[in-house]
């Protein structure tokens, strides 16, 4: 499986820092995609995303822009 070179998660660092929602975003992610940095910003390892959308539920309005990955990328399920 190849990783996409284009992220499907965009973080508005200004909103994350101003609202402090980075802690909640990082804590809720089952895949541990987000890491809250000491300055309050978020780093994202988008290739590990499970595409569940939980981060959107806890983020402050406008803090995250998220869409499904391009076709052929993202989470893939296999039988067996």
pLDDT at 2: 45
Read off the pLDDT band of 1 (50, 70, 90): very low
Question: What beta strand segments (E) does 4-68 contain?
Answer: 9-11, 34-36, 42-44, 64-66
CA 61, CA 41: separation in Å to the nearest integer?
16
pLDDT of residue 35: 96
- State residue 66's pLDDT score: 83
For the chain, which residues make up each domain, given as ranges? 9-66
Distance in angstroms (rounded) separating the CA atoms of residues 73 and 24:
27
Tell me: pLDDT of 70 over 90: no
Q: Determine contact, residues 71/12, Cβ cutoff 8 Å.
A: no
Share of the chain above pLDDT 70, in %: 78
Domain 9-66 is found in CATH 3.10.20: no
Encode pLDDT of 18-30 as tens digits: 999 999 999 999 9
Determine the Cα–Cα distance for residues 75 and 4; give it in Å rounded to an integer.
11
| pTM of the model as a whole | 0.77
């Amino acid at each position: 499986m190849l990783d996409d070179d284009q992220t499907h998660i965009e973080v508005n660092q200004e909103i994350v820092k101003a609202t402090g929602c980075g802690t909640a975003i990082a804590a809720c992610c089952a895949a541990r995609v987000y890491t809250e940095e000491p300055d309050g910003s978020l780093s994202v390892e988008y290739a590990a995303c499970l595409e569940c959308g939980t981060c959107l539920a806890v983020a402050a309005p406008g803090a995250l822009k998220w869409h499904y990955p391009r076709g052929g990328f993202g989470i893939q399920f296999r039988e067996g």
